[in-house]
């Protein structure tokens, strides 16, 4: 089932890359963004743009959280390299990606494979999806979040 605006987000309860508990619903507005891989050009641009605008997003009441299938060890290095000030979730079994409908068939150089579709979910305090951004502008992503 493809999630839509107005749907309840899948319930999450896990530990982030910093060792802190993360849950949905959380009582906070959440920018939950799924990205394909740490340290790739588009993913780095997206993370850095969100990080550069983190204070403005937090002033609007948002908690920013990234998700990829990379390990927590990879996330720790990625965060340190770019001084990212928000948590990342490790989803190596792609359970979150599947629950949110972003684990999809992709194609590169004519080869089909499964991977994460870059997608951002804006979730309200009660765990309801209030926006879905599928056409992510990696260099200006924070300006797409309202």
Domain harbouring 16, CATH code: 3.40.30.10
Instruction: Give percent of the chain with pLDDT exceeding 70.
Output: 99
Residue 2 counted as domain residue: no
- The mean pLDDT value for 4-14 works out to 94
Residues 6 or more apart in contact with residue 125 via CB below 8 angstroms = 25, 26, 27, 28, 29
Residue 6 counted as domain residue: no
Residue 7 counted as domain residue: no
Question: Is 48 in the active site?
Answer: no
DSSP the chain: ----TTSBPPPEEEE-TTS-EEEES-SSEEEEEE-S-TTSHHHHHHHHHHHHTHHHHHHTTEEEEEEESS-HHHHHHHHHHHT--S-EEE-TT-HHHHHTT-EEEEEETTEEEEEE--EEEEE-TTSBEEEEE-S--GGGGGGG--
Beta pairing partners, 21: 15
Contact 34, 117 (CB under 8 A): yes
pLDDT in the model for residue 47: 97
Catalytic residue among 9, 30, 32, 43: 43
**Cβ count near 30 (within 10 Å):** 25
Residue 52 counted as domain residue: yes
pLDDT surpassing 90 at residue 25: no
Residue 4 counted as domain residue: no
Residue 3 counted as domain residue: no
For residue 115, give Cα distances in angstroms to 19, 55, 58, 128. Answer: 25, 31, 29, 25
pLDDT surpassing 70 at residue 1: no
- pTM equals 0.95
pLDDT surpassing 80 at residue 124: yes
pLDDT in the model for residue 6: 96
Residue 126 counted as domain residue: yes
| Domain with 127 in it | 12-144
Counting the structural domains of the chain, the total is 1
Residue 71 counted as domain residue: yes
């Amino acid at each position: 089932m493809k999630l839509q605006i107005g749907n309840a987000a899948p319930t999450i309860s896990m530990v982030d890359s910093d060792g802190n508990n993360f849950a949905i619903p959380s009582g906070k507005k959440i920018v939950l963004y799924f990205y394909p891989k740490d340290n790739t050009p588009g993913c780095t641009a997206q993370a850095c743009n969100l990080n550069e605008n983190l204070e403005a997003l937090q002033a609007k009441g948002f908690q920013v959280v990234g998700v990829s299938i990379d390990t927590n060890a990879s996330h720790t290095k990625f965060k340190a390299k770019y001084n990212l000030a928000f948590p990342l979730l490790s989803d190596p079994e792609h359970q979150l990606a599947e629950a949110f409908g972003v684990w999809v068939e992709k194609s590169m150089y004519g080869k089909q494979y499964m991977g994460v579709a870059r997608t951002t979910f804006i979730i309200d305090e009660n765990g309801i999806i209030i926006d879905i951004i599928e056409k992510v502008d990696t260099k200006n992503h924070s300006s797409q979040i309202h």
